[in-house]
Amino acid sequence: MSAESICSDAVRFSDERLAEIKTLVARYPSAQSALMPVLYMAQEDFGYISMDAQKMIAEVLGLRLMQVREVVTFYTMFREQPCGTYLLEVCTNAGCMLNGANELVAHMCDSLGINVGETTPDGLFTVTEVECAGACGGAPVVQVNNAYHEKVTPEFIDALITEKRAEGAE
Amino acid sequence: MAISSDPRQVKQICFDRIDIPHVNTLKVAREHGAYEFLPTVLKDFDTARIIDEVKTSGLRGRGGAGFPTGLKWSFVPRNTGKPTYLLCNADEGEPGTFKDRDIMRFDPHLLIEGMIMAGFALGVKDAYIYVRGEFLHEAQVMNAAIDEAYAANLLGDDILGSGYSMNLTVHRGAGAYICGEETALIESLEGKPGRPRFKPPFPAVEGFYGCPTVVNNVETLATVPAILKFGGDWHASIGIPNNTGCKIFSVSGHVNKPGNYEVPMGTSLKTLIEDYCGGLQHGSVPKVVIPGGSSTPWLTAEHYDTPLTYDAMMKAGSMLGSGAIIVMDETADVVALSRRLAHFYAHESCGQCTPCREGTGWLKRIMNRVESGQGTEEDIQVLGDAATHMAGRTICALADGAAAPILSMLEHFPEEVRARLVEKAA
């Protein structure tokens, strides 16, 4: 990294990650194509994609910060803020709505004492509504940290909350 | 493959191996015919013959537009001095669609084999599968299968000693419906926001990084191995003319057994819902059927017998689209559904065309009012006007998709909308 580096030293990819990125870039005609996969790496490593992380990624891929910013802000799956340990994403689009998704969201929010988009005070759960998850045959669909759960019932949600709270208390 | 060489016996193509345990692994897939015909294609077929077979097959793109696949391939210019790219559209975001997910997670080698054959026909060195970001598991299954295929010399340099080389990379999207539009997908794969491009130039001539590019849906590519093995005429004998082959229908909503069902084209909507999906949850005829994903116009009970073909659906006033059938029985609240879809399109508009960016916002705000009993007669007027003036006035078809549910609701259920207005609610 050059002396006039614009980012803080707090957010850095490991050497293993940098090697992985080098291999990844070689699969595309241009390094810019590797931006989305690299943003996923940052989110996995740091929990969310801070402004410092975005500056660091711009340097690593040789892009302007604005090129990184506009991708981070365009796509809903890139998070600029931290979220709870368990991100509960409920699809409320057509197929899920017709099979009780709104009632499921209400139940989830009631049980956790939060509104959609909020995180519980203990930092354990964040609830969000998402657009069609592409699994309408299993409606209603809830993703828990990217893992799909289908035909989800209020009982399933209750059990999940109880289990994760118990794990969190350990 | 257990698919019959007699077209009259064929009930499934893409889902032929879908129920076989562990068919996602190369070993099991090969025991059931995967890559069996590939050496013959690489040795005895050439570009002209492959494109000819696919043209003869009558295969139409399974992603929604229904464009003839062989014709699309024939548009790719040769000897331009630029590389040609093959992109598989696995963005699968149209509400109601969930078929490509099953091909990828259960039979990834079918897609890989189809891509090798398509890539070979088009002289492709680098191919990509653009998978929607939420499908992390599916991307992992695909990657594991791709690793196995590389290790078995089915991908990479000099595939099976044929002299043909192709790399295949899985690329994850990140939650943007618009990236299912092929030029937005290309922008996204270039590491940019997914904003659709003006056409022409079409991707076949100027696509990924300005090079000739073919973008095909997962199901389309997964049909290619069977077409080359059994011949274009075989495929053309399945289904009905101009609507050939089998098609996977993703059925959701108010049916007893929602899910993916692959049937020969021409099977009726009613047969699919009653014989395959266990019928409706309530009542005997549907209130609304959205036949091709949320962007397609609604059908009502009068069209329950419509054959599932591109042509018949168009004649009925809708579209076959991606084969995503959303069924609503008599209990459905069509105003609530339209409000939800209006929210979806407003959220997913990329924002570059004014009629769509502003229009989807108007539709969403008015539908919020109408659903909550705050709407007025004038709101109904504006809904119809806005929807009518958005459609066809933008770079891509998202605005048309946003208009469809609103116009369908106003056309088929005006009394239900009026019953919600502030005058009535008061």
Q: Region B317-343: what's the mean pLDDT?
A: 96
The verdict on A100 and A165 lying in the same domain is yes
List CB contacts (< 8 A) between B83 and chain A: 29
* pLDDT at residue A6, as a whole number: 54
DSSP bridge partners of B130? B89, B171
The verdict on A156 and A111 lying in the same domain is yes
Query: Closest-CA residue in chain A for B92?
Result: A134
Q: What is the pLDDT of residues B132-146, one digit of tens each?
A: 999 999 999 999 999
Identify whether the C-beta of residue B70 lies closer than 8 Å to the C-beta of residue B118.
no
Domain edge (last residue) among A53, A74, A95: A74
CA B60 – CA B64 distance, rounded (Å)? 9
The verdict on A12 and A37 lying in the same domain is yes
List CB contacts (< 8 A) between A137 and chain B: 98, 250-252, 258-260
| CA distances, B258 to each of A140, B11, B198 (Å) | 12, 19, 37
The verdict on A34 and A58 lying in the same domain is yes
The verdict on A108 and A68 lying in the same domain is no
The dihedral built from the CA positions of residue B357, A66, B83 and B133, taken in this order, carries a sign that is negative
Kindly indicate the confidence band of residue B202, based on its pLDDT and cuts at 50, 70 and 90: very high
Please report whether residue A132 resides in a domain.
yes
Query: Closest-CA residue in chain A for B349?
Result: A74
Helix (H) or strand (E) holding B130: strand B126-131
Q: What is the pLDDT of residues B351-406, one digit of tens each?
A: 999 999 999 999 999 999 999 999 999 999 999 999 999 989 999 999 999 999 99
Torsion angle of alpha carbons B334, B336, B341, B343, nearest 10°? 160
- C-beta neighbour count of A136 within 10 angstroms: 31
A66 contacts chain B (CB < 8 A)? no
Identify whether the C-beta of residue B339 lies closer than 8 Å to the C-beta of residue B371.
yes
Binary contact (B290, A94; C-beta < 8 A) = yes
Interface probe, candidates A68, A91, A131, A150, chain B, greatest B C-beta count within 10 A? A131
State the Cα angle at B380 between B252 and B410, rounded to 5°: 40
Mind listing the domains of chain B with CATH numbers?
A: 2-237 (3.40.50.11540), 245-328 (3.10.20.600), 334-425 (1.20.1440.230)
Q: Within a 13 Å sphere around the CA of B61, how many CA atoms are in the beta-carbon half?
A: 19
Domain edge (last residue) among A43, A74, A105: A74
Query: Closest-CA residue in chain A for B260?
Result: A137
In the predicted structure, residue B219 carries a pLDDT above the cut 80? yes
Counting beta carbons within 10 angstroms of the beta carbon of residue B169, is it exposed (0 to 12), middle (13 to 18) or buried (19 or more)?
Answer: middle
List CB contacts (< 8 A) between A139 and chain B: 252, 258
Please report whether residue A79 resides in a domain.
no
B173 contacts chain A (CB < 8 A)? yes
Q: Within a 13 Å sphere around the CA of A122, how many CA atoms are in the beta-carbon half?
A: 12
Domain edge (last residue) among A74, A101, A118: A74
Interface of B with A in 184-243 (CB under 8 A): 188-194, 208-209, 211
Binary contact (A98, B97; C-beta < 8 A) = no
Beta strands, E only, B190-323: 213-217, 239-240, 243-244, 246-253, 259-264, 288-290
- C-beta neighbour count of B157 within 10 angstroms: 11
Domain hosting A96: range is 86-169
- Residue B46 has φ and ψ, to the nearest 5°, of -130, 180
A145 contacts chain B (CB < 8 A)? no
B50 contacts chain A (CB < 8 A)? no
B133 contacts chain A (CB < 8 A)? yes
List CB contacts (< 8 A) between B18 and chain A: none
DSSP bridge partners of B2? none
* pLDDT at residue A167, as a whole number: 87
In the predicted structure, residue B319 carries a pLDDT above the cut 50? yes
Please report whether residue A148 resides in a domain.
yes
CATH for A61? 1.10.10
3-state secondary structure of B187: helix
Q: Which of B92, B174, B252 sits opposite A95 (nearest CB)?
A: B252
Kindly indicate the confidence band of residue B425, based on its pLDDT and cuts at 50, 70 and 90: low
3-state secondary structure of B415: helix
**Would strands B246-253 and B324-328 be described as parallel, antiparallel, or unpaired?**
parallel
Q: Region B40-54: what's the mean pLDDT?
A: 97
Binary contact (A98, B252; C-beta < 8 A) = yes
Residue closest to B74 by CA, chosen among B121, B37, B138, B140: B121
Please report whether residue A80 resides in a domain.
no
Identify whether the C-beta of residue B254 lies closer than 8 Å to the C-beta of residue B281.
yes
Q: What is the pTM of this model?
A: 0.96
Q: How far apart are the first and last CA of chain A?
A: 41
Show the 3-state SS of chain A.
CCCCCCCCCCCCCCHHHHHHHHHHHCCCCCHHHHHHHHHHHHHHHHCCCCHHHHHHHHHHHCCCHHHHHHHHHHCCCCCCCCCCCEEEEEECCHHHHCCCHHHHHHHHHHHHCCCCCCECCCCCEEEEEECCCCCHHHCCCEEECCEEECCCCHHHHHHHHHHHHHHHHC
Interface of A with B in 16-35 (CB under 8 A): 27-30, 32-35
CATH for A119? 3.40.30.10
In the predicted structure, residue B422 carries a pLDDT above the cut 90? no
The verdict on A101 and A157 lying in the same domain is yes
In the predicted structure, residue B233 carries a pLDDT above the cut 70? yes
Binary contact (B171, A37; C-beta < 8 A) = yes
Show the 3-state SS of B59-70.
CECCCCCCCEHH
3-state secondary structure of B75: coil
The verdict on A129 and A59 lying in the same domain is no
* pLDDT at residue A3, as a whole number: 42
pLDDT along chain A (170 residues), means of 10: 53 96 97 98 96 97 98 97 96 95 96 96 96 95 96 96 87
Helix residue spans in B266-317 (DSSP H): 269-271, 310-315
The verdict on A64 and A110 lying in the same domain is no
Please report whether residue A81 resides in a domain.
no
The verdict on A65 and A90 lying in the same domain is no
The verdict on A44 and A93 lying in the same domain is no
Structural tokens at position B129? 């599968």
Interface probe, candidates A20, A24, A30, A36, chain B, greatest B C-beta count within 10 A? A36
Helix (H) or strand (E) holding B360: helix B354-371
Q: Would you put residue B130 in left (φ > 0), alpha (ψ -120 to 50) or beta?
A: beta
Name the percent of chain B in helix, strand, coil, to the closest 5. 45, 15, 40
The verdict on A64 and A107 lying in the same domain is no
Please report whether residue A162 resides in a domain.
yes
Q: What is the pLDDT of residues B276-312, one digit of tens each?
A: 999 999 999 999 999 999 999 999 999 999 999 999 9
Please report whether residue A14 resides in a domain.
yes
Please report whether residue A118 resides in a domain.
yes
Identify whether the C-beta of residue B47 lies closer than 8 Å to the C-beta of residue B123.
yes
The verdict on A155 and A96 lying in the same domain is yes
Cis peptide preceding A37, ω within 30 of 0: no
Identify whether the C-beta of residue B135 lies closer than 8 Å to the C-beta of residue B93.
no
Identify whether the C-beta of residue B107 lies closer than 8 Å to the C-beta of residue B29.
yes
List CB contacts (< 8 A) between B340 and chain A: 92-94, 97
Question: How many folded domains does chain A comprise?
Answer: 2
The dihedral built from the CA positions of residue B339, B345, B347 and B353, taken in this order, carries a sign that is negative
A99 contacts chain B (CB < 8 A)? yes
